[in-house]
């Protein structure tokens, strides 16, 4: 399911969006047996899943470590640089307030 489509109902003056099978768009001869999925339901489900994943500190830490390993320690280097820079920024901000 990749493509989206919309349907307009005159009675309710409402437009409905759905995700459709993309086989016809790729000109395949196979008939797609998948039903259209209402866009709002699918998007809300994905949003809820992503929200719960982001709220899990252990998962975020795991992803961070994996990204760091995939980038030759770039994340760790940036965190170290941020740790050194934050006190400088705090001092500069205090001086601007005066």
Q: pTM of the predicted model, to two decimals? A: 0.50
Domain ranges for the chain? 1-55, 57-98
DSSP string, 17-54: EEEE-STGGGT-SSPP-PPPEEHHHHHHHHHHHHHHHH
pLDDT tens digits, 12-49: 888 888 888 877 656 665 677 778 888 899 999 999 99
pLDDT computed for residue 7 by the predictor: 80
């Amino acid at each position: 399911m990749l493509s989206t489509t919309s349907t307009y109902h005159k009675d309710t003056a409402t437009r409905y969006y759905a995700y459709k099978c993309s086989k016809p768009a790729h000109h395949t001869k196979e008939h797609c047996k998948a039903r259209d999925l209402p866009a709002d339901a699918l998007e809300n489900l994905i949003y809820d899943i992503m929200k719960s994943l982001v709220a899990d500190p252990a998962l975020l830490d795991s992803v961070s470590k994996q990204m760091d390993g995939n980038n030759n320690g770039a994340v760790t280097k940036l965190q170290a640089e941020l740790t050194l820079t934050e006190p400088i920024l705090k001092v500069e901000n205090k001086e601007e307030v005066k």
